Amino acid sequence: MSVIKAENISKKYIIDHKKGNAPKSTLREVITDTFSGLFSSRDRDQETHEEFWALKNVSFEIEQGDRVGIVGSNGAGKSTMLKVLSRITEPTQGRISITGRVASLLEVGTGFHPELSGRENIFLNGAILGMKRDEIKRHFDAIVDFAGVEKFLDTPVKRYSSGMYVRLGFAISAHLEPEIMIIDEVLAVGDAEFQRKCLGKMKDASNAGRTIIFVSHNLTAVQGLCNKSIFMKKGQLVEIGETNQVIANYLSHIQKTGLSSSWETPEDAPGNDKVRLKSVKIVPKYIGDLKHIDVRTPFKIEIEFWNMLDSANLNVSLHLNSLTGECVFNIGTPSRKFEKGIVKAECEIEGNFLNDGSYSLSFMVVKDTSTPLMNFEESLIFEVEDYREGVSWYGKWPGYVRPQIAFPITQLEYENV
Amino acid sequence: MQEIVIEAGRTAKNYWKDLWRFKELLLILALRDVTVRYKQTSIGILWAIIRPVMMMMVFVFAYDKVAKIKDDSNVKYQVIIFSGILLWNFFATALQQVSNSITGNSNLVSKVYFPRLIMAISSISVALVDFLVGLVVLIPMLCYYGYYPDWNMLMIPFFLALTAMAAFSLGLIFAVLNVKYRDFQQIVPLVVQYGFFVCPVVYSVSKFQDEWWFKYYSILNPLSGIIEGFRWSTIQNYAYFQWSSFVPSLVFVIITTFISIVFFRKKENSFVDFI
């Protein structure tokens, strides 16, 4: 029996562009723009509304008891899909019918109030997630036990450690009894022990006949939990099917299209009248027969651009950012004098350096080591897959880097027998 | 098993049913706001008494002792001010809470579905608790000055409800605008500040009730009718309330409530995209 049936779901956002200006967001801008618009028509023309389809004609069916993973790179529409499914935002077009009670966990501990105690927050969060009061009461002890916070029940959660906070949040949602659960990335937090508990809890839920929809960047977790997967790309559904198959296709797809973008002529290329981007590439040195980058894979970053300035002192500053936008590192080339023409910068990132996860490359071309000429934001997005040896733990490895620094351990003394 | 259909514009159909289904959430959010209000204060809810009492004392001092303004009514000035401040504080707090209810709960707006109206309704709770605590002080105070409770007091809930609706409907409009333009976060306190003097809060209408412009005053200032009505229901033999000046208030409240809910419903689904 299919419990979720989505037909041609589309979601449109309108992005306001104004030349050389940020989108209008304060009342003052609206007022001044309206008035200046009355007097000059040119002002209007500088404004463009761009339609952006976060989802485009997505259709699928999910059967009862299915555990469905949604995979795709950033901006593929996964989060929008979850938001539409959990009714946070309405689709622009299309129709979804859902049979059964839905609980969506787009975040751990949604609506927790820092000033309230653990006990009060259990009731608050439970109600927000759609539990009835007596249902919460019935599960109260189990929740407290699962989270392991007995001693701190009457402490405000602002004094909780982040681990306790997350555990309590997950414990509440794990005791929901909906027919359908929608889960976003919640496993990315918490310690290993707790992650195992969560995965176990989710498996139990699905064994009990519940349907789970799960979005994660952690492909290992998706593979471990989901029997079916959906692969999304640029707002469209590329494939739905058996998890291993879909993930294999997804990985090979990322490596095919994701690792380079280039432009034939300066006219089409992004940039301005000083510099235009010719190409940006990631060239991996795959390990063995692999066709994707994992934590061991060394790779080169190559950037080529058209310089349109006469004898200018230029250098390139490169930012490698995490999925959440934090900068992992920033490196700069030396500054040199360049004539009009094509300039290339490259650097090599050794293997066993980056942790698994999604990263984006942004870079700037800088003149005289001080004036940025052009900033190319998120010009490439790539994923580093997990690889472990000799570790029987599958939780998310924390940190942005996973360097192999020698860390010997020896026995110093033997107890005299 | 229930079936949910998600479609553009679909929420409208089940909206009021959903609102009822989420009534427990409404209560718990209200409870949250009330609990959090005086968390980590040593005297807690006593603040709900201290604030209006202090304010009354300041005004009694300024008007009665310094400026020596004579109120024409033969009602004790303390009583006029305290009753006015009590109701005005209710209005002002409710207005501010409702205006900030959506932006203040942005984490909920972007993460879970429920009728957003719940956030606005529940946020009145804080004002209501403060008011009820204040009422506990007002009644002994009235007795002390020789105004004993009478049947008119049964009308207190009616005027309270009207004030709540006025605050709710105005607040709802501000709440929607606040989502996109945070300017309204600055505007609401101004409205409250000016309104305090424009409405008969620290004076009664007795002084200018017979002026030719009084009827325009009550039309332009719909709250004045409600405040005077509240005084009439609490203060024994309060003679300065006219039902005729109350009609504009009633009309105003009904119309704004209707408009604000329609406006809110229309914008509600786009909150998540702008917040």
We report the CATH number of the domain holding residue A301 as 2.70.50.60
What type of residue is B30? A
Cβ of B112 within 8 Å of Cβ of A25? The answer is no
| Range A117-124 average pLDDT | 92
pLDDT band at A43 (very low <50, low <70, confident <90, very high): very low
Q: Say what the pLDDT of residue A34 is.
A: 64
Interatomic CA distance for residues A339 and A341, integer angstroms: 6
A400 falls within a domain: no
Q: Say what the pLDDT of residue A397 is.
A: 81
Q: CB distance from A159 to chain B under 8 Å?
A: no
Same domain, A338 and A232: no
Strands A357-367 and A371-384: antiparallel
**Which of A250, A276, A308 delimits the end of a domain?**
A250
Q: CB distance from A89 to chain B under 8 Å?
A: yes
% of chain A with per-residue pLDDT over 90 = 28
Could you tell me if A100 and B21 are in contact, meaning their C-beta atoms sit under 8 angstroms apart? Answer: no
The closest of A159, A178, A79, A75 to A118, measured between CA atoms, is A159
Interatomic CA distance for residues B188 and B174, integer angstroms: 8
- Residue among A84, A111, A132 minimizing CB distance to B108: A111
Cβ of A120 within 8 Å of Cβ of B272? The answer is no
Same domain, A301 and A377: yes
Location of structure tokens 């959906």: A230
What strand order describes the sheet that includes A260-262?
A260-262, A275-284, A299-307, A341-349
pTM, entire model: 0.73
- Residue among B6, B25, B111 minimizing CB distance to A107: B111
**Position B146 pLDDT exceeds 70:** yes
**Least confident residue range of A87-91, A249-253, A286-290, B69-73:** B69-73
A158 falls within a domain: yes
Say which residue, A354 or A188, is predicted with more confidence: A354
Cβ of A90 within 8 Å of Cβ of B8? The answer is yes
A188 falls within a domain: yes
% of chain A with per-residue pLDDT over 70 = 87
Cβ of A90 within 8 Å of Cβ of B269? The answer is yes
Of the residues A88, A115, A119, A137, the best mutation for testing chain B's interface (the one with the most B CB atoms within 10 Å of its CB) is: A88
Residues of B within 8 A of A13 (CB-CB) are 273
Q: Say what the pLDDT of residue A45 is.
A: 47
Residue A336 domain boundaries? 258-384
Q: How many domains does chain A have?
A: 2
A74 falls within a domain: yes
**Position A193 pLDDT exceeds 80:** no
pLDDT (tens digit, 9 = 90+) per residue, A208-261?
888 999 887 667 778 878 889 999 988 889 999 998 888 888 877 765 566 888
Distance of CA A145 to the CA centre of its chain: 31
**Position A131 pLDDT exceeds 70:** yes
Same domain, A369 and A240: no
Query: Which ranges constitute the DSSP H helices of A116-191?
Result: 118-128, 133-147, 162-174
Residues of B within 8 A of A116 (CB-CB) are 32, 35-36, 39
The closest of A166, A124, A136 to A148, measured between CA atoms, is A166
Location of structure tokens 């209005």: B91
Q: Say what the pLDDT of residue B196 is.
A: 92
Same domain, A114 and A224: yes
Q: CB distance from B40 to chain A under 8 Å?
A: yes
A408 falls within a domain: no
Q: Say what the pLDDT of residue A303 is.
A: 93
Chain B residue whose CA is closest to A126 = B25
Same domain, A230 and A278: no
3-state secondary structure of A404: coil
The closest of B254, B98, B108, B71 to B177, measured between CA atoms, is B98
A27 falls within a domain: no
The closest of A71, A415, A37, A74 to A249, measured between CA atoms, is A71
- What ranges make up the beta strands (E) of chain B? 3-7
Interatomic CA distance for residues A246 and A251, integer angstroms: 9
Interatomic CA distance for residues B208 and A304, integer angstroms: 80
Residues contacting residue A183 through CB under 8 Å, at least 6 positions apart: A104, A105, A202, A212, A213, A214, A215
pLDDT (tens digit, 9 = 90+) per residue, A70-115?
988 767 888 889 888 888 888 888 999 988 888 888 878 888 999 8
What ipTM describes this predicted complex?
0.85
Could you tell me if A108 and B112 are in contact, meaning their C-beta atoms sit under 8 angstroms apart? Answer: no
Same domain, A295 and A176: no
Same domain, A298 and A243: no
Interatomic CA distance for residues B205 and B228, integer angstroms: 8
A21 falls within a domain: no
- Residue among B5, B7, B110 minimizing CB distance to A88: B110
Q: Say what the pLDDT of residue B274 is.
A: 80
Could you tell me if A385 and A293 are in contact, meaning their C-beta atoms sit under 8 angstroms apart? Answer: yes
- What ranges make up the beta strands (E) of A291-370? 299-307, 312-322, 327-332, 336-338, 341-349, 357-367
Beta bridge partners of A338: A312
A331 falls within a domain: yes
Cβ of B36 within 8 Å of Cβ of A101? The answer is no
Interatomic CA distance for residues A230 and A60, integer angstroms: 9
∠A115-A120-A122 over CA atoms, to 5°? 115
* DSSP state for residue A114 in the 8-state scheme: T
Q: CB distance from B32 to chain A under 8 Å?
A: yes
